[in-house]
Amino acid sequence: MADKITPRSVDYSQWYIDIVLNAKLADYSPVKGCMVIRPRGFAIWERLRDELDRRFKETGHQNAYFPMFIPMSFLEKEAEHVEGFSPELAVVTHAGGEELDEPLVVRPTSETIIWSKYRDWIQSWRDLPLLYNQWANVVRWEKRTRLFLRTTEFLWQEGHTAHETQEEAEAETATMLEVYRRFAEEYLCLPVIAGRKSDAEKFAGAVATYSIEAMMQDKKALQAGTSHFLGQNFAKAFDVQFQTRDGQLDHVWATSWGASTRLVGAIIMTHSDDKGLVLPPSLAQEEVVVIPIFKNDNKATVLEYANRVVQSLKASGRRVAFDTDDSNTPGWKFAEWEMRGVPLRVEAGPKDAANGTVVMVRRDTGEKSFVSIDDIAAVAATTLATMQKDLLEKARAFRDANTRDVVSYTDLLEFYGKEKKAKPQAAIDGESHEGTAEATGGYARGLWCGSRECEAKLKADLKVTIRNMPSDQQDHVEGVCCLCGAPARHRAIFARSY
Amino acid sequence: MADKITPRSVDYSQWYIDIVLNAKLADYSPVKGCMVIRPRGFAIWERLRDELDRRFKETGHQNAYFPMFIPMSFLEKEAEHVEGFSPELAVVTHAGGEELDEPLVVRPTSETIIWSKYRDWIQSWRDLPLLYNQWANVVRWEKRTRLFLRTTEFLWQEGHTAHETQEEAEAETATMLEVYRRFAEEYLCLPVIAGRKSDAEKFAGAVATYSIEAMMQDKKALQAGTSHFLGQNFAKAFDVQFQTRDGQLDHVWATSWGASTRLVGAIIMTHSDDKGLVLPPSLAQEEVVVIPIFKNDNKATVLEYANRVVQSLKASGRRVAFDTDDSNTPGWKFAEWEMRGVPLRVEAGPKDAANGTVVMVRRDTGEKSFVSIDDIAAVAATTLATMQKDLLEKARAFRDANTRDVVSYTDLLEFYGKEKKAKPQAAIDGESHEGTAEATGGYARGLWCGSRECEAKLKADLKVTIRNMPSDQQDHVEGVCCLCGAPARHRAIFARSY
């Protein structure tokens, strides 16, 4: 199996696709740009969805469901919103055998349909806040697509909240950004930078957009979640007013925030290696695979012993696969389960059965240990917990090693100019022979004047964008813009991105 | 709140809509025929979805996700399938600012797109069975819609399985029907009849369709889940062949099965009363509401005591609401929580605080009891379990009381002919003054020859259809068709239906 996967050093994009296809996470669709999420890929999505949902509920949110069809006229009510989304819309013009009076858009996002209902539900400050979320499919007609990372239809959640005051809505925006940040780090092992997007990169219709940004192994950034402060824009567009505590009428304040199946792509790209998928234990369908190693004359003994190991792991709450198929060799199975990203492999052969031990191998480091059958449940539990921490720290170390402070355009040119497009980058675990001296990009941390001109120049010259302005680095900004030398207003993270 | 609900005896349809709207379960959508599922309604769906999903996984199924857009040509590959669905399709003709070369249908069901992929994934008997399910939104452009029961877009799950042999696929069809039957009875408290549909009522593209049928309080039947044996129809349409165990090539055998948000409508219609929603405890967002009853001079004491009750219930794993809002009277709150369908109400006033007791009231029967605070957790648990059983038995008793054996067309005419359209029926708990002597329909159980003519006549004359042929009542069918007098082949259940 492993030989089906193109090494990262040869072709990073192909390596990613090889993993997605060979680990049976997803497949292409007969409809251009759409994808099929196969069971092993969907299991990852299910686990992350359930955990994120739990965190939403813990912070007071409820789920609802709004129609996926939106009248075209609704989108047109918010000028920036329709301008941003209209190139990407899929439009239903016929239904039930007839042409529709008004075309219906398949939701690219649901602000407009939701705010058209909030108008019915909100009369007074007593009706506020509304803290709703929905899990749904959305459609954005993209020209260039890539499995999980960018597909015309994708699955996501979109939170839509309504508040009495600006302060409350801004606090909600910040709260949800922090929910995403912690979720990404604790559950997905993705170290992320949380911060505000530039105006050029904000959501169409938002006053301010905040994001979490992760770094992939090719040193490109990937936006992994966004939280928008919408001000009163949608309340004004849909005329949603409420009676305030002091008896006045005011427009409602809004936020929205979302994360999508793109996260599955980010997880694959961040942790995997040339043998295949590497998954944080939190996300793995099976945390442990037990592989019995037997010949005909000891099959019964070994299987019985291996089954004891399986039962002991299951009794301790572990998710376990037991690979008893004898049409494949143990070596083939090792490679196969490595490709699938199962965090721990436990091998049990005749000697192990005699000694009361097993061999345990970590997927991420390849580290082998001999464990007594009496300790297997406890050792598996601590090893998985360690692995969960190690994957985050490994990704963080990689990101930090590929982050550089820049003070001038020369620095930026040097940092991004030498990128070799055909041969992407030094891989995280050093298989590549390119050293860090041969800098090929990553995160550049620098000061920015805030002008659209500087941002546009950077994008045109180097295909580099401002990922965000990290929330925790905006105090005492002093100095000059690394692009134009004018007085700086923000500390920013620059990078190429997905 | 309760006075907003039209009594069943006055207008059953309006009673249903009043409950859905006033209990904030769902709302109308700006797009005709679609619905908005509000948080209290979505919470019911979430609970039933999670339980059904658990039962699917327990029986070996995995979740996947397929694109919602299907090329029109795919539907056309199975003749009966396209004929059945084409009047109800919503069609995307434009996307990304351009007219599409081939129109895309928004899935009304996913057999065609799924079998187009199964072709890629199935080569040998070793690849079988595939036991996949997906949770998704689907669209069927309906002329007459009703919240939850029939909407143009709805949420559902659709299982799609692929098998080596006819026997295996038939066994799967039966297994899933039984999963639905047990789920409906154990979790939703809906007594159902499981059986085979007539050919006229089967799924477009199926060899045989099986259903579970529930009875609503207006004595109409509601199809609550279906399981289809698809034979090799879709495998042939999409050319999905596999190498058999003996080295031959054969087409794959298939099933599909589904249940939808319509179930939420069935639950509301089966259990609720003129005060509002009644929910099985299994489905209730809050199982218990605790309402403190205080005046200004004893507020602190009562609240502290009521909070102890809440904590004790929560500690025992109960889902609890604590209504401390003092802008409404206790009486208003009682009515409000009754309308919302919370199974148990616990009242705690100053006397209760002094005596160490509470008053507990069951939503379904109105039964009141005095419970010591020390016993509240245990009593709540047993009362909820009892209520779960009682709701099923009450619905079963109602159904049985409204089921009649018929041997002739005269019997059918008598049973269905007298229906009063304006004043629907004797309500389950006897508020109506119409007795059972004034029979207005229900289930008729009779013999059927199997001819389409008899079935069509019944539908034309009385708007009655064959709901299904109960699986457990097909042995030793002897006698004559109750419609035409020809020799009978099946025992059938006749009813008007949703």
Q: What is the pLDDT of residues B447-471, one digit of tens each?
A: 999 999 999 999 999 999 999 999 9
Strand (E) or helix (H) holding A27: strand A26-28
Q: By CA distance, what is A100's nearest residue in B? A: B90
Do A267 and A291 lie in a common domain? no
A388 in Cβ contact with A189 (< 8 Å): yes
CA separation for the pair B302, B352 (Å, rounded)? 9
Residue B226 in domain: yes
CA neighbours closer than 13 Å in the CB half-sphere of residue A426:
16
B73 touches chain A (CB under 8 A): no
Do A371 and A417 lie in a common domain? no
CA separation for the pair A267, A280 (Å, rounded)? 8
Q: What is the pLDDT of residues B301-343, one digit of tens each?
A: 999 999 999 999 999 999 999 999 989 999 999 999 999 999 9
- Predicted structure pTM score: 0.94
Report how far apart the first and last C-alpha atoms of chain B are (Å, whole number): 28
Helix A376-401 and helix A262-271: axis angle, to 10°?
90
Q: By CA distance, what is A116's nearest residue in B? A: B30
Do B245 and B360 lie in a common domain? no
pLDDT recorded at residue A396: 98
Disruptive mutation site among A28, A48, A65 for chain B (greatest number of B CBs within 10 Å): A65
Report how far apart the first and last C-alpha atoms of chain A are (Å, whole number): 28
Do A260 and A306 lie in a common domain? no
CA distance B293 to chain A (A): 22
pLDDT recorded at residue B140: 96
A385 touches chain B (CB under 8 A): no
Alpha helices in A316-419 (DSSP H): 330-340, 350-355, 376-401, 409-417
Do A294 and A249 lie in a common domain? no
Contact B30 A132 (CB under 8 A): no
Residue A395 in domain: no
The answer for residues whose C-beta is within 8 angstroms of residue B167's C-beta and 6 or more apart is none
Complex ipTM value: 0.94
Name the band, by pLDDT with cuts 50, 70 and 90, for residue A206.
very high
Nearest Cα to Cα of residue A395 among A441, A364, A439: A364
Query: Which residue among B64, B70, B141 places its CB closest to the CB of A42?
Result: B64
Q: What is the pLDDT of residues A258-299, one digit of tens each?
A: 999 999 999 999 999 999 999 999 999 999 999 999 999 999
Do B109 and B144 lie in a common domain? yes
pLDDT recorded at residue A439: 44
Considering only CA atoms, give the Rg of chain A. 25
Bridge partners of B139, per DSSP, are B153
Average pLDDT of the segment spanning B80-96: 93
Alpha helices in B192-344 (DSSP H): 233-237, 262-271, 299-315, 330-340
Strands A443-448 and A344-348: unpaired
Residue A396 in domain: no
CA separation for the pair A56, B125 (Å, rounded)? 43
CA distance B313 to chain A (A): 19
Residue B392 in domain: yes
Do B392 and B409 lie in a common domain? no
Name the band, by pLDDT with cuts 50, 70 and 90, for residue A145.
very high
Q: What is the pLDDT of residues B116-141, one digit of tens each?
A: 999 999 999 999 999 999 999 999 99
The proportion of chain A whose per-residue pLDDT surpasses 90, expressed as a percent, equals: 92
Of A359, A390, A421, which marks where a domain is finished? A390
Cβ contacts of A66 on chain B, cutoff 8 Å: 29, 36-37
DSSP A143-191: SS-BTTTB-SEEEEEEEEEEESSHHHHHHHHHHHHHHHHHHHHHTT---
CA distance B425 to chain A (A): 33
Q: What is the pLDDT of residues B188-239, one digit of tens each?
A: 999 999 999 999 999 999 999 999 999 999 999 999 999 999 999 999 999 9
Name the band, by pLDDT with cuts 50, 70 and 90, for residue A418.
low
Residue A235 in domain: yes
Average pLDDT of the segment spanning A193-213: 97
Residue A277 in domain: no
Residue with tokens 């708007």: B463
CA separation for the pair A196, A421 (Å, rounded)? 29
**What percent helix, strand, coil does chain B show, rounded to 5?**
40, 30, 35
Bridge partners of A65, per DSSP, are B37
B32 in Cβ contact with B152 (< 8 Å): yes
Q: What is the pLDDT of residues B155-198, one digit of tens each?
A: 999 999 999 999 999 999 999 999 999 999 999 999 999 999 99
Q: B296 vs A169, B308, B347, CA distance in Å?
A: 34, 19, 17
CATH code (residue B372): 3.40.50.800
Name the band, by pLDDT with cuts 50, 70 and 90, for residue B143.
confident
Contact A27 B141 (CB under 8 A): no
Cβ contacts of A42 on chain B, cutoff 8 Å: 62-65
Residue B1 predicted with pLDDT over 70? no
Cβ contacts of B90 on chain A, cutoff 8 Å: 69, 92, 94-96, 104
Contact B36 A88 (CB under 8 A): no
The amino acid sitting at A116 is S
A residues 143-182 closer than 8 Å to B (CB): 143, 152-153, 155
| pLDDT mean across residues, chain A | 94
Q: By CA distance, what is B35's nearest residue in A? A: A67
Residue with tokens 């044996």: B229
CATH code (residue A111): 3.30.930.10
CA separation for the pair A387, A281 (Å, rounded)? 7
Burial string for B59-87 (b: 16+ CB within 10 Å, else e) reads: eebbbbbbbbbbbbebbebbeebbebbbe
Do A302 and A409 lie in a common domain? no
pLDDT recorded at residue A417: 84
CA distance A137 to chain B (A): 8
Contact A155 B65 (CB under 8 A): yes
Nearest Cα to Cα of residue A309 among A354, A372, A362, A363: A372
B128 in Cβ contact with B162 (< 8 Å): yes
Cβ contacts of B63 on chain A, cutoff 8 Å: 39, 42-43, 46
CA distance A95 to chain B (A): 4
Do B137 and B171 lie in a common domain? yes
Residue A134 predicted with pLDDT over 70? yes
CATH code (residue A466): 3.30.110.30
pLDDT recorded at residue A435: 35
The answer for residues whose C-beta is within 8 angstroms of residue A400's C-beta and 6 or more apart is none
Residue with tokens 């349809």: B13
pLDDT recorded at residue B3: 62
Q: What is the pLDDT of residues B398-436, one digit of tens each?
A: 999 999 999 999 999 999 985 444 444 444 443 443 333
Residue B332's CB is within 10 A of a number of other CB atoms, namely 12
Q: What domain range is A304 assigned to? A: 286-390
Nearest Cα to Cα of residue B49 among A176, A113, A40, A49: A49
A residues 437-466 closer than 8 Å to B (CB): none
Cβ contacts of B94 on chain A, cutoff 8 Å: 90-91, 93, 103
Q: What is the pLDDT of residues A424-459, one digit of tens each?
A: 444 444 344 333 334 468 999 999 999 999 999 999
Of B397, B412, B428, which marks where a domain is finished? B397
Q: What is the pLDDT of residues B22-58, one digit of tens each?
A: 999 999 999 989 999 999 999 999 999 999 999 999 9
Do B430 and B462 lie in a common domain? yes
Count of structural domains within chain B: 3
CA separation for the pair B266, B147 (Å, rounded)? 11
pLDDT recorded at residue B79: 87
Do B43 and B148 lie in a common domain? yes
Query: Which residue among A31, A43, A64 places its CB closest to the CB of B71?
Result: A31
DSSP E strands in B66-152: the ranges are 69-71, 90-95, 98-106, 130-139
Residue A33 is given by DSSP the state T
Do B29 and B65 lie in a common domain? yes
Of A242, A271, A300, which marks where a domain is finished? A271
Name the band, by pLDDT with cuts 50, 70 and 90, for residue A143.
confident
Q: By CA distance, what is B135's nearest residue in A? A: A136
Average pLDDT of the segment spanning A133-141: 97
| A258: three-class secondary structure by DSSP | strand
The answer for residues whose C-beta is within 8 angstroms of residue A304's C-beta and 6 or more apart is none
Residue A281 in domain: no
pLDDT recorded at residue A390: 98
Q: By CA distance, what is B85's nearest residue in A? A: A96
Residue with tokens 């040509």: B73
Average pLDDT of the segment spanning A138-152: 95
Residue B276 in domain: no
